[in-house]
Structure 1
Amino acid sequence: MIEGCPPFSTRQEKEVPKVYVANERPPFRAPPKCYAYGLRELIEECWSEEPFKRPTFRQIITRLDYIYNQLPHKRHWKECFCW
């Protein structure tokens, strides 16, 4: 959702299941400045293979609230996702 396109959209459709089985994650395609501060890190923490390293839903909501409140609300997020 954050990239504005399906995960692994650059891969052939038949390759996608193999990528998931190999525990690969979709790459971040946009330049880092296009993500709100802390958002990429939160996503990567949620992807951890070790369940105890993943944030709880309560922690996720708290961090998303913080990230949202830090956004300059005049910024247009779609500016970063014109591929």
Structure 2
Amino acid sequence: MSHTKQIYKRLKNKMEIIAHYKRANDESYTITLGMKNELFTLHSFCFDGNNVFDEDNYKDESFSSYQEFDQLMTAVESSFPGININI
């Protein structure tokens, strides 16, 4: 994954990063990286539907927090292999 240093700087400056990932089965995921209470955060979900207000359309949602940036990046790479996070 490229741009690792820029990702780190943005997160440390309390700026969220939103990326999108498409799995082989055509499921599209939204991935949000952030920092809250001195922890790096990873929020991801698959949106499957037309109504953003219907919670049933959000599939496979997960929230994780990590103390170390390297832990966050390892989790992102293992959950979303080959993801390209553009800054």
Superposition TM-score, scaled by structure 1 size:
0.25
Answer 1 or 2: which has greater helix percent. Answer: 1
Flag the structure with higher strand content.
2
TM norm structure 2? 0.25
The structure number with the bigger radius of gyration is 1
Name which structure has the greater RCO, CA cutoff 8 Å, separation 6+. 1
